[in-house]
Amino acid sequence: MDEIKELFAKIERNDVTPEMSGLLSSGVIDSLDIMALVAEIEKAYKKPLSAEFIEASNFESFESIKKMIDEAMKA
Amino acid sequence: MHWLDEFIKAYERGFLWSNFYLNLDILVKKCYAKELSIEKQGQNYIFYQQTPHLLWYFADEHFEARNGFYVKVLGKNNTFLQKQKEFLEKCGFVELATFKEMKKSTQNVAFAALNGEFPNISQDINSLAKKLYTFLSRFFSPKFLLFYDEKALRDKLAQNEAFVLFKKGQIQGALVFSTKLNSAILDFIAVDENLKDKYSALILLNVFFKANEKANFFKLFVKTDNHKAIEFYLKNGFEFSQTQLQFYKKG
C-alpha cells in the first residue's frame, strides 16, 4: 500500500492512512481530492484513467484504490 | 490534433502551472468532440472552451491568452490558490469573483414529503429549456458561469435534474442539479427577485433534497459576497468547506 500512500502524499493528504475506511462516504476525501489523485495516477502510470473507473466505491479505502489501479492499468 | 499527442507526452512529466482539475481522459474526449481547441505557446498548452468562454492552461511560463476568455481555479489549499493568482496576474488576468463550497451531510436529514407532483414539465420540453436558459441567464453570466446551454438544460429537464416553478405562466424560480460520485451538486438555483412568495427557494431546495435522498452529501458553490444566499444555506444546514472557486478574466 506504499504506492497509494505516496499518491496521497503527492496531493498533500498525508493525513489519509491505510487503516482508514469509508474515505469518500465519510467525507475524509472529496471529489477534488479524487481528481487530484487521478491526475497523479495518470502521471505515475503514464496512461489516462478511463472515466468508467472513477466510481465512488473505488475510492473508499487504500485497498479499493489499489484494486482499481490494477484493473485499470491492465485494461 | 497533432498538438494533442505532443501534449499527452508533456502531461506525463507535469507542468508548473495548471487550472485543470479533471482527468486526462475527459480532456482528450472533449478535444475529439471539438468542445475544446488546443493552442501551443512555447512549452505551454492552452485549451479553449466556447460554452462558456473558459480556458484551461498547462504552463511552465507566462502565456498570452485570447481576450474575452475566463479562467476558473478550483482548490482547497490557500497557498495553491495564491500562487495561481500571482501567476495569472502576470499573464494579464484580473480576479473577477470568488465562490466558496458549502456542503451538508444527508445524515439526519428529514426529507419532506412533497404533496402531489412538482409542476415541472407540463409544456413542450424544448420551449421550456429555452425559457429556462433565458431565466437562468439573468442570474448567471453565460460567458463564464452558466455552463449549460439550451440543449443541456433540455436533457436536465428530461432527466428530472432541473425543476421549474411557474406563476401566471412565467418562470418564477428554477433549480438545476447534477450528481457526482457520492454527492448531489446544486449547480444553479434562482428565484425571481420580484416574487412575493418567500418560500419558493425553500420549496426548490427541498425538491433537490428529496430527489437526492441516496446521496451522502449535498454541495453547492456560493459567491462570497452573496450574503443573503449564504444566510439561506446556513439556515438550511449547509456549512462551508475548504474548497474555493476563483474566476479570472482576460481583456
**ipTM, interface predicted TM-score of the complex:** 0.82
Instruction: Please judge whether A32 and B216 are an interchain contact, meaning their C-beta atoms are less than 8 angstroms apart.
Output: no
* pTM score above 0.80: yes
Half-sphere exposure of A26 (CA within 13 A, CB side): 8
Radius of gyration in angstroms for the set of CA atoms belonging to chain B, rounded to a whole number: 20
Buried b (16+ CB within 10 A) or exposed e, B105-117: ebeebeeeeeeee
B142 touches B132 (CB < 8 A): no
Cell output for B166:
411557474
Residues of chain A with pLDDT under 50: none
Identity of residue B137: S
Cell output for B174:
428554477
Instruction: Please judge whether A49 and B25 are an interchain contact, meaning their C-beta atoms are less than 8 angstroms apart.
Output: yes
Q: Give the DSSP H or E segment for B89.
A: helix B78-90
- pLDDT band with cut points at 50, 70 and 90 for residue B116: very low
- Considering Cα of B18, then B20, then B23, then B24, what sign does the dihedral take? negative
C-alpha span between B229 and B40 (Å, rounded)? 41
pLDDT tens-digit map of B21-32: 888 888 999 999
Which 2-61 residues of chain A touch chain B by CB within 8 A? 12, 24-25, 27, 30-32, 34-36, 38-39, 42-43, 46, 48-51, 54-56, 59
